[in-house]
Structure formats: C-alpha cells, structure tokens
Amino acid sequence: MPSIALLYDHPRWEEKAILQALKDIGADARLLHVETTPLRIGEPCCPIDLALERSVSFSNAVSTAFAVESWGVKVLNPGTVIYLAGDKVATLSLLASHRVPVPETTVLSGSNRINGSLPPGPPWVVKPVIGSWGRMVARARDLEELEQLLSYKEAARGLYSRIHLVQEYIEKPGRDIRVFTLGDRVVAAIYRVSSHWITNTSRGARAEPAPVTGEIEDLALRAAEALGGGFLGVDLLEDPERGLLVNEVNAVPEFKNTVRVTGVRVHMEVAGYAVEEARR
C-alpha cells in the first residue's frame, strides 16, 4: 500500500477522520505537523507517495503544499489549486473564462473605485479577496454605505486591503448548496440553510442533505475542472432567474456536518481516492 502523508496544522474532526480512514484501508498513513516540521525545498523529509493537504491556515496550506510538491510528490490538493481557490478574484476569473456562471462582480482598485461599472444593485456584497468562513463579508444597501465599507476596509491596511470585490446581491431561497467533488465525480451535496443572508455553516447555517441533480453535478464538476480538480467544496447559489451560479470554491473543505446529515462517509471517499492517485 502507498505511503500517504497528512499535512496539517490544527487538526479538526475531518483530519482525524481521514487519518483513521487511511489506516482502515491499509495505507501507510503518516502525520506531518507542518508547524513543527521544517520542509526543505527539493529535499524530502521522508519517503511518501502522496500528501493530503489539510492545513486550516490558508498560508500554511499553500506554502506547505508547494514545498512538498518540490519533492516530486503529488499533493491533494496542489498548491496552485489551493491558491486559486483561496483568492476569490482568481477563482471568479478562472470560472468565468471557462464559461461557468458566476455572480456579476467588479474588482475595484484604490481610490479610482466607483465609476459606474458596478454590478447590478444596490444592494451589493463586498468581500475580501482572501477570506473564509464568511468573515469580512458585508452588504451595502446604497452607494453611501458602499463607500463607507470600502473606506473601512482600506483603513485596515492589510494585504489586498485596497482591492475591493463588489458583487451583485443574489436573492437566495434561504440557503445555498455545498457540493463536494472528488476527481471527476460528486460525492455529496448539502443545503446550508439560514435566515441570514450569509449561509456559511461556520456562521450558524443548518446543514441538510441536498439531491445531486444532473445540473448540480455538471456545474460543480465544471467548476472543479476549471480550478484544477482534486477534492473541492463548490458553493452554488440559486438565482431566481438565471438558475445555479458558482459562488466560491474551497480547496480544504470541512465536511463533518455533511457526513452527519447525508451519511456519506466523505473521509473514506477521500482516503480511497488518495490511494488511487498515489498508485497512478
């Protein structure tokens, strides 16, 4: 059986479940705690056939995936996929260029920001270029609020603080859809239900099983392929007029609630896929 390393920083239920699944199917599972293990570029720390990147920190995930890839080892997901999925402008750009429907979005840079090229609105949704769990996502109900939000964001002086991602506000039916793709197939989907317009489960949304329709499957797989494939969480919005739109793609997705409500053992699917990929 192949030797598979689990790259992690702060283990959650998901990482423990994947580790156990790897052991259950007989893989030589190794833990690689990236915050206490120096990773030398081009010099493997240990003989492994494949690595599963599961760091919760975006910067840890990107950097350590690239470092391990320098050993000639396949990483699931690769550093490029993690980076492209983590940068919302890069994600939307790739999706749009692959003709995957996305919410209308404008990228504004610096002080020359509002010049009539905004997406339909108000309201508008303002998002950080890099961010997760629905943090720093806000809704502006008019131009004045939008200006204020952008000013506050710029005052923070962080990386990308002067790049603004402004999207049309989609009137969702009180939910969005999270679809898990693994290679060229969909393994599970859930509705994330909330009375709040932000429907991340980390913000209190309730997970419910969702049917994987042909349309959901097709769109999620097209989005996954555009980003580079692997194990991804594709977030879909249901627009009342245009149908399904791809909102975001997550490259280190959480799936504890999905296992609970769907019964699909996503961790077993991931472990099995990792072994298949390691043998290729």
Partner 1 sequence: MAKCPVCGLEVRIPEDAMPGELIEHDCGTLLEVVEDNGVLQLRVFEGDMEDWGE
Residues that bind partner 1 (CB under 8 A): 8-11, 15-16, 31, 33, 35-36, 56-59, 130-133, 135, 202, 233, 250, 252-254
Question: Dihedral angle at the C-alpha atoms of 264, 265, 267, 272, nearest 10 degrees?
Answer: -100
Q: How far is the CB of 104 from partner 1 (least distance, A)?
A: 24
For partner 1, the closer of residues 146 and 186 by Cβ is: 186
Sheet of 175-182, strands arranged across: 206-209, 185-193, 175-182, 231-239, 243-250
**CA-based nearest residue to 255, from 8, 41, 54:** 54
Letter for the amino acid at 25? I
For partner 1, the closer of residues 146 and 210 by Cβ is: 210
Measure the CA–CA gap between 134 and 53, rounded to whole angstroms.
22
**CA-based nearest residue to 50, from 26, 29, 36, 34:** 29
Q: What Rg value do the Cα atoms of the chain yield, rounded?
A: 19
Q: How far is the CB of 19 from partner 1 (least distance, A)?
A: 8
Q: How far is the CB of 215 from partner 1 (least distance, A)?
A: 24
For partner 1, the closer of residues 8 and 146 by Cβ is: 8
Q: How far is the CB of 266 from partner 1 (least distance, A)?
A: 13
For partner 1, the closer of residues 55 and 262 by Cβ is: 55
For partner 1, the closer of residues 16 and 279 by Cβ is: 16
